Structure 1
Amino acid sequence: MKKEEIPQDLSALGKITKEICYATDTEGNYQTGLSSGWNVKIDALDLAWADIKKRIETARQKVLDHQASPVYFFMEYRLMDLSILADYTGFWQWQIKRHLKPNVFNNLSDKNLQKYAEAFNITIEDLKTMTVHED
């Protein structure tokens, strides 16, 4: 691709950041150039975010149906997996799996709930009620 052909399609991240692309100049030498977005990439990211939103809503419904604890919802909301959450909380992964069960979660101490609240950057009350405050 030639330097003047670097895509400049405005994306959601286009106002925040730019991406470095490699392109050729008029003499055929490779140089870097900045791109504010590319429609193909924008479509792929939109599709990925739609999938993430669907996973979050599925998790919310499982909590409301008493099939999972609010920890599951916030793991999906914060894009975490067991390994990441274990690193943030200090719990073993098997402990977190247990805490995903509503009956186990309901018996957790405030000390343990506070570890989850800190990992998710929320309060204990927000954790219990699945309340999300947009940053």
Structure 2
Amino acid sequence: MKKEEVPQDGDNLHHGTFKQLFYAVDNSGDYTTAPSVGWEPENVALDQAWEEVERRVAETRVKVEAGEASPIAYYMERTLLDLPLLAVKAGKFQWQVKRHMKPEVFKKLGGSTIARYAEIFGIAAEVLQKGELLPFQRPQ
């Protein structure tokens, strides 16, 4: 694609801080880089994906507040992790992490286990231990 054809179809993520870098051909026929704020279909798909993430986080929050899941389930969704990846990061088997997502099991977890999960989620151990649910925000 020519440098002047690089898509500039709108503001990706609605705040202008996210830019993509494309390789394009300049007027002399040489490859060069060209920044782009995105391509409309790509921007729409990205917005839809973030809406799905926000929906899943909100649903999990409701489950935690209703006592149906532990804060680990909420923070797993909030940090865009899935069960296999969280288990690997925590050094646990998947069945163990799944158990830790039960409120009655979560309440009995030791400090080092809570601290490990908190480190993975990028929050203070006290926040996780108390069951505080920090709000979800799309990355900037």
TM-score for the superposition, normalised by structure 1: 0.83
CA contact (8 A) 2:74 2:133 kept: no
Q: Could you tell me the percent identity over the aligned residues? A: 39
2:107 corresponds to 1:106: yes
- Shift of residue 86 of structure 1? 1.6
2:22 is matched with 20
Equivalent residue number for residue 83 of structure 1:
84
- After superposition, give the CA deviation of every residue in 1:89-125 in whole Å (9 maximum; x if it has no partner): 1111110011111111111111211111111111222
Q: CA deviation at 1:84?
A: 1.4
**Which secondary structure state, in structure 2, belongs to the residue aligned with residue 19 of structure 1?**
strand
Distance in 1 of aligned mates of 2:115 and 2:79: 16
CA distance in 1, matches of 2:88, 2:47: 29
- For 1:103 and 1:17, the matched residues in 2 are separated by 45
Q: Which has the higher contact order (CA 8 A, sep 6+)?
A: 2
Q: Paired residues, what number?
A: 133
Aligned residue runs from structure 1 range 1-135, under 5 A: 1-8=1-8, 9-12=10-13, 14-22=16-24, 31=31, 33-34=33-34, 35-127=36-128, 128-132=130-134
Instruction: Calculate the aligned-residue CA RMSD, in Å.
Output: 2.4
Cα distance in 2 between the residues matched to 1:19 and 1:53: 27
Report the Cα distance in structure 1 between the residues aligned to 2:57 and 2:85, rounded to whole angstroms. 17
User: What amino acid is the match of 1:89?
Assistant: A
Question: Structure 1 residue 40: deviation in Å?
Answer: 1.4
Q: Compared with structure 1, are the counterparts of its residues 115 and 78 closer, same or farther at alpha carbon in structure 2 (3 Å cutoff)? A: same
Unaligned runs of 5+ in 2: none
